[in-house]
Amino acid sequence: MTDKDRVVEHPEVPTLFDVQEMELNFGPQHPSTHGVLRLVLKVDGEKILEAKPDVGYLHRGTEKLFETETYPMGIPHTDRMDYVAAATNNHAFCLTIEKLLGVEVPRRAQLIRVILDELQRLSSHLVWLGTSGIDLGAVTPFWYAFREREQILDFFEEYCGARLTLNSMRIGGLPFDLTPGWIERLSDFVDDLPARIDDYEQLLTDNRIWKRRTVGIGVISGEECIERGLTGPLLRASGVEWDLRRAQPYECYEELDFAIPTRVNGDTYDRYIVRVQEMRQSVRILRQSIDRLEPGEIRGKVPRVIKPPAEEVYASIESPKGELGFYCVSNGTNRPYRMHCRPPSFINLQALPRLAKGHLISDLVALIGTVDIVLGEVDR
Amino acid sequence: MKILTPTVLTYIKVVLLVALVPAIVGFVIVLMERRFMGFMQVRLGPNRVGPKGTLQGLADLVKLVTKEDVTPARAEGSVHFLAPVLAVIPALTALALIPFGPSVRLSRNVSTPLYVTDINIGLLFLFAITSIGVYGIILGGWASNNKYSLLGGLRSAAQLISYEVPMGLALVSVLLMTRSLSLVEIVQRQERIHLWFVFPGLLAFFLYFVSGVAETNRNPFDLPEAESELVSGFNTEYSGVKFAFFFLGEYTAMIIISCVAVTVFFGGWLSPFPSVKALSFLKLVPPLVWFLIKTGVFLFAYIWFRSTFPRYRFDQLMALGWKWMIPVGLVNIVIVALAILATPGRTNGMVTLAWILGAIFVLLFLLARLRQALTRRDRLAAEPAGARAPR
């Protein structure tokens, strides 16, 4: 059933009873808002006439905090933005400062960064897969997804001691080299992954109820995505082949062979397919990076006290959720004058009122899942 | 002096039912559900309380009973209180009609059937009494003074009433074959004709069980309590004993749906393959055990559904009920009626119908698999190259 069949417009006819819209507070305490998102809904029965996101419940002034501390001290703050994908946050932050300093990152560090990024992409997508499955009532994929996510977190823990707030990168390279045996175990895990991804797909991809709940829900065109600044899987599911790993290659993504999955319909189902495909591509990237890894330096030549020249730079990476960038204004001291983050979750969230309009409350839950927001990053 | 008069026996049976069923719900079914789901979801499930978690039900009961019983401010107090009662009493009442087994001999001259009562409008009464349970949910949602609960109540009103219709239609087609509404008579007739009604009533059985799942608000039709949408819907504002009552009502309703499915379609207490000599040892198993095994299979199916399917959306659920199941139910009645008319006075018509339906079912199943394989092939063809690991 397509979207068009379903949405029944109410003609303006006089009714016997006094009809009024109901205002419904969706969150901040609600199991499906993935954190403390609050949506103020105007509903007619269950049909959503208007959905207004009210963000800021998790605001911690991260951007201001960057200004008060030295450059390296900013890295742990980035962990707490997109807290299900800390490594990519670290990466974007470090990349910005490295661009400011003009530091070259050694090849081994680049490859390990790629490995960490892709592991993080996998784990972030797994969280998304599990939770959006639960949102639509499919509880089992969650446990399968978290089984693998736990393993990924184990790898992180062994590498840097933390599972979520990793603090796993440093300006100019990495804090630690890999522990012995880490890469062999990772290699085994990567070999296992395609079959595990098949498990999730088995439960959802061809499931008729899953398709009915996602096909034609929250359709958005490629042009509109670009107008609204949406990036990541949302953009790619609408047919735009735009991935910063390919469009503005950083680290050593240039030499790696991977595809950018795209779909054309721009609905919730396509966004699901794109993300699952991205997981498969991440597996490919991981495999190649593991094979290319050679011993070497993990830290570039960085001064002990980081005092970059007074300049302004912007650098961005493809985080699991889209373009994650930092804009840094330096005034020549050891602290940034201004640090601004371009958070993909926040910008993608802007599409939610547009996506939700005219759908039902049940679809809203699917749409919050498909936008894949993390409130830590939205509110910062 | 005779103490065990039929009246006394009936009282004993009523007390046993009302005492046993909640205990079975709490201790066996809930534990089984959680352990099975744990198994299906690569986790353990509760295994801490008592050996292998067997006392989890007791722990839950103690928790629920000792919890504060909250009635929200500005809720409709009396209705809020009445709703869980309305959810559980009809479900327990309906149990009186379920024939768990034929007569058993208690002593030399006392024997009693394993059901409380057998009334000649049994199925009709069962329908009527279980429908009352819906009011519990509707009123509970309405009286809670909570918008989510209200939405849950509204959903259940529409859903449960809609699915009564296909369920009724499914049973009507079976009634054409049984010519009796008495549940005991339905089982006895299956015994006489050596054919369970599931075979000539294959379609009716599917309609019945799907509607049954919808009636009991279970996955994939658990919309009135949709946790991730309506924050538990109608029972959001319920705690303590009242919540336990809703819980008990839901599970007892599940038991009743399963029991009726077994009685009407799967020969109740009868053992399978009565005419196959080699399998005559199956008759050594007591009828009550057969009944419980069959019911258990259906309860397991409930759990299996729950861990497999995503949830339907409200309008899709209604479309499924009204646009598919009701027309199919009507067509099914016509088919069964024609088959019976074609062979008056004999059961051959039913056997033929069973074969035809079985063949059609197998064909449809194969077609569905084929279609699935084709869509899967198309999907894989659209994937970017190198995405899959070589097998």
User: How much is the pLDDT for A12?
Assistant: 57
Q: Where are the domains of chain B?
A: 72-342
Percent helix / strand / coil, chain A, rounded to 5: 50, 15, 40
- Judged by DSSP in three states, A355 sits in helix
Residue B357's H or E segment, with its range, is: helix B348-381
What is the nearest CA distance from A287 to chain B, expressed in angstroms?
A: 11
User: What would the pLDDT profile of B225-248 be if each residue is shown by its tens digit?
Assistant: 776 777 777 788 888 888 888 888
State the CB neighbour count (10 A cutoff) for residue B301: 14
Q: Does B372 touch chain A (CB under 8 A)?
A: yes
Interface test with A, best of B155, B228, B312 (most A CBs within 10 A): B228
Contacts of B148 in chain A (CB under 8 A): 24
User: How much is the pLDDT for A127?
Assistant: 92
Contacts of B386 in chain A (CB under 8 A): 257, 259, 284
Cα four-point dihedral sign A87, A90, A92, A97:
negative
d(CA A66, CA B166): 63
User: How much is the pLDDT for B347?
Assistant: 64
What is the nearest CA distance from B109 to chain A, expressed in angstroms?
A: 54
Give the residue among A170, A172, A157, A177 at the shortest CA–CA distance from A74: A170
User: How much is the pLDDT for B51?
Assistant: 84
Residue B320 · residue B312 · CB < 8 Å: yes
Interchain contact, A32 vs B229, CB within 8 Å: yes
Q: Does B381 touch chain A (CB under 8 A)?
A: no
Interchain contact, B41 vs A361, CB within 8 Å: no
d(CA B225, CA B235): 7
Give me the residue label for tokens 């946790």: B227
Give me the residue label for tokens 């609408």: A238
Give the residue among B74, B386, B80 at the shortest CA–CA distance from B235: B80
DSSP letter string, A224-245: HHHHHT--THHHHHTT----HH
Cα four-point dihedral sign A106, A112, A114, A120:
negative
User: What would the pLDDT profile of B287-318 be if each residue is shown by its tens digit?
Assistant: 888 888 898 899 999 889 888 888 888 888 88
d(CA A105, CA A173): 6
Interchain contact, B151 vs A6, CB within 8 Å: no
User: How much is the pLDDT for A155?
Assistant: 92
Nearest Cα residue in chain B from A134: B228
Contacts of A284 in chain B (CB under 8 A): 386-387
Instruction: Choose the closest CB to B386 out of A6, A32, A259.
Output: A259
Q: Does B318 touch chain A (CB under 8 A)?
A: no
DSSP letter string, A277-292: HHHHHHHHHHHHHHHH
Nearest Cα residue in chain B from A193: B389
Contacts of B223 in chain A (CB under 8 A): 362
pLDDT above 60 for A272: yes
User: What would the pLDDT profile of B132-144 be if each residue is shown by its tens digit?
Assistant: 888 888 888 888 8
Contacts of B146 in chain A (CB under 8 A): none
Contacts of A46 in chain B (CB under 8 A): 151, 314
- Judged by DSSP in three states, B2 sits in coil
pLDDT band at A9 (very low <50, low <70, confident <90, very high): low
Give the residue among A187, A326, A210 at the shortest CA–CA distance from A276: A210
Interchain contact, B229 vs A134, CB within 8 Å: no
Interchain contact, A1 vs B43, CB within 8 Å: no
Interchain contact, B41 vs A143, CB within 8 Å: yes
Q: Can you tell me the mean pLDDT for A228-255? A: 88
Contacts of A138 in chain B (CB under 8 A): 309-311
Long-range pairs, A23-31, Cβ under 8 A, ≥24 = A24/A361, A24/B147, A24/B148, A26/A51, A26/A361, A26/A364, A28/A57, A30/B231, A31/B227, A31/B228, A31/B231
How would you classify residue A317: left for phi > 0, otherwise alpha for psi between -120 and 50, otherwise beta?
beta
Contacts of A277 in chain B (CB under 8 A): 383-384, 387
Instruction: Choose the closest CB to A139 out of B307, B372, B375.
Output: B307
Interface test with A, best of B33, B39, B155, B229 (most A CBs within 10 A): B229
State the CB neighbour count (10 A cutoff) for residue B13: 18
Distance (Å) of CA A260 to CA A318, A347, A373, B80: 12, 21, 21, 55
User: How much is the pLDDT for B345?
Assistant: 64
d(CA B161, CA B171): 16
What the block records as the tokens of A152 is 């990924």
Instruction: Choose the closest CB to A194 out of B310, B313, B388.
Output: B388
Residue A245 · residue A254 · CB < 8 Å: no
User: What would the pLDDT profile of B123-171 be if each residue is shown by its tens digit?
Assistant: 888 888 888 888 888 888 888 888 888 888 888 888 888 888 899 898 8
Interface test with B, best of A2, A362, A364, A368 (most B CBs within 10 A): A362
What is the nearest CA distance from A58 to chain B, expressed in angstroms?
A: 21
Residue A83 · residue A149 · CB < 8 Å: no
Interchain contact, A137 vs B388, CB within 8 Å: no
**A·B CB contacts under 8 A:** 112
Q: What is the pTM of this model?
A: 0.85
Residue B161 · residue B243 · CB < 8 Å: no
pLDDT above 50 for A17: yes
Strand order in the sheet with A38-44: A22-26, A38-44, A47-54
Residue B80's contacts (CB-CB under 8 Å, 6 or more residues apart) are B71, B72, B140, B143, B144, B237, B242
Contacts of B385 in chain A (CB under 8 A): 259
d(CA B42, CA A249): 39
Q: CB burial class (10 A; 0-12, 13-18, 19+) of residue B201?
A: buried
Instruction: Choose the closest CB to B43 out of A143, A204, A365.
Output: A143
Instruction: Choose the closest CB to B308 out of A31, A134, A140.
Output: A140
Residue A336 · residue A74 · CB < 8 Å: yes
As a whole-number percent, the residues of chain A with pLDDT over 90 amount to 19
Q: Does B111 touch chain A (CB under 8 A)?
A: no
Give the residue among B24, B197, B215, B25 at the shortest CA–CA distance from B129: B215
Give the residue among B100, B72, B86 at the shortest CA–CA distance from B259: B100
For chain B positions 43-72, those within 8 Å of chain A (CB to CB) are 43
Nearest Cα residue in chain A from B221: A137
Interchain contact, B310 vs A213, CB within 8 Å: yes
Q: What would you report as the CA-atom Rg of chain A, rounded to the nearest whole angstrom? A: 22
Q: CB burial class (10 A; 0-12, 13-18, 19+) of residue A188?
A: exposed
- Judged by DSSP in three states, B49 sits in coil
pLDDT above 90 for A153: yes
User: How much is the pLDDT for A4?
Assistant: 46
What is the full per-residue pLDDT of chain B (391 aa) written as tens digits? 577 777 888 888 888 888 887 788 778 888 888 888 888 888 888 888 888 888 888 888 888 888 888 888 887 778 888 888 888 888 888 888 888 888 777 777 777 777 877 888 888 888 888 888 888 888 888 888 888 888 888 888 888 888 888 998 988 888 888 888 888 888 888 888 777 887 777 888 888 999 988 888 887 888 777 767 777 777 888 888 888 888 888 888 888 999 999 998 888 888 887 777 777 777 777 888 888 889 889 999 988 988 888 888 888 888 888 898 899 899 888 888 887 777 766 666 677 777 787 888 888 889 988 888 888 888 777 777 655 654 4
What is the nearest CA distance from B43 to chain A, expressed in angstroms?
A: 8
User: How much is the pLDDT for A3?
Assistant: 47
Interchain contact, B311 vs A136, CB within 8 Å: yes
pLDDT band at A5 (very low <50, low <70, confident <90, very high): very low
Residue A313's H or E segment, with its range, is: strand A312-319
Contacts of B387 in chain A (CB under 8 A): 259, 261, 277, 280-281, 284
User: What value of ipTM does the predicted structure carry?
Assistant: 0.80
Interchain contact, A284 vs B222, CB within 8 Å: no
Average pLDDT, chain B: 83
DSSP-assigned beta bridge partners for residue B179: none
Residue A55 · residue A35 · CB < 8 Å: no
| Strand-pair category, A336-342 with A322-330 | antiparallel
d(CA A289, CA B236): 50
Instruction: Choose the closest CB to A137 out of B147, B228, B376.
Output: B228
d(CA B302, CA B281): 30
Give me the residue label for tokens 């993909």: A344
Average pLDDT, chain A: 86
